[in-house]
Structure 1
């Protein structure tokens, strides 16, 4: 069975909700899916003052988990148009895997969340994708086969580079149905591609 890892960092739960939708999509394609989060690196007093909420339902990932999967889908909120330091710190520890080529030929994808409509979603997706390309992964985005991202009837995230959500300046806006549908669509596609590339068996 194809094994997929949805790996995320979330400060306020928006990216965590998107991770659950990505995982759901991958499961509909018959994959076995784990959702894991990266460790918090911000000092405890900042975490407390900012009111971060960790989703304790999801175990903390270790770098050496990554080779166990056929597909790796990474989500992080945007920080000034780039990847969060928590996710960057985790990915910076994959040097040993890179050296061995341990992730070559796996399938990868990216998803993100930002406060505003044009708050750096695409540059953040590309900063995740850049990491994955260096590690040898084949990238699957969110193509326009997902028609929901074309809507002008509502404010919505979604881009051909990966699923996205908009949290609002105060973080109160939760992922919409369209955004969650996009995340599911991408998760399903990645699982389907991973199954094809791995020949349906886990190596």
Structure 2
């Protein structure tokens, strides 16, 4: 059973969550986690001006996803940073190229899940995931979130991401904050949960 983790990460926050999701997937017997990036749409000079060149080089070993890989997966977990309360443009452009899959119903019945990041604590994490779900529902996917059986999202001991809709992290105003242990635990839980649901669906 293959769980595809498709994401866009500019500074590395989403990449770290993606690795944690993959670790959770691999905890389920028979589940394979495959990491893929969506294509970059920004010119290299713009990425450089944003101070993200080194972070992008660190992600270069992750293959770029093709649309056909979505159809071949048993479940798909999408990761996108928040852009004004919605998914990033790179992810939107990638998903807009899936019309052929939609016309053939290739994603109907597959488990679909989303994780995200934002610069601030209330920077649109929940709205990003919820608005992302609309695309998955149009494809006929079965939405999988992050249930409250993940106890980490009930903590008030520290500022942390994660909600019933999916794992998330807070990058901070300058982007220097990387995912905390609670947030990484949420991503691992989500990966394991998605793989468990997908195993039931594929049976």
Could you say which TM-score interval applies, normalised by the shorter chain? over 0.9
Offset at residue 42 of structure 1 (A): 1.1
1:155-202 Cα shifts (integer Å, max 9, x gaps): 100000000000000000010000000000010010000000001xxx
Offset at residue 128 of structure 1 (A): 1.7
| 1:112-127 matches, cutoff 5 A | 112-127=116-131
Task: State how far apart, in whole Å, the 1-side matches of 2:25 and 2:109 are.
Answer: 18
Task: State how far apart, in whole Å, the 1-side matches of 2:80 and 2:170 are.
Answer: 12
Where 2:77 maps in the other structure, the secondary structure is strand
Deviating 4+ runs (over 2 angstroms): none
Corresponding position of 1:181: 185
Which of 96, 99, 106 in structure 2 is aligned with 1:95?
Answer: 99
Gaps of 5+ in 1: none
Task: State how far apart, in whole Å, the 2-side matches of 1:21 and 1:107 are.
Answer: 18
1:143 matched to 2:147: yes
1:108-146 Cα shifts (integer Å, max 9, x gaps): 100000010010001110122111111111011001000
Where 1:185 maps in the other structure, the secondary structure is helix
Where 1:45 maps in the other structure, the secondary structure is helix
**Root-mean-square deviation (CA), in Å?**
0.7
- Give the total of aligned pairs: 198
Gaps of 5+ in 2: none
1:70-118 Cα shifts (integer Å, max 9, x gaps): 1000000000111000000000000000000001010010000001001
Which of 59, 66, 82 in structure 1 is aligned with 2:63?
Answer: 59
1:25 matched to 2:24: yes
| TM-score, structure 2 as length reference | 0.96
Offset at residue 48 of structure 1 (A): 1.1
Where 2:36 maps in the other structure, the secondary structure is strand
Task: State how far apart, in whole Å, the 1-side matches of 2:15 and 2:157 are.
Answer: 25
Which shifted more, 127-136 or 188-197? 127-136
Offset at residue 44 of structure 1 (A): 2.0
Task: State how far apart, in whole Å, the 1-side matches of 2:157 and 2:172 are.
Answer: 18
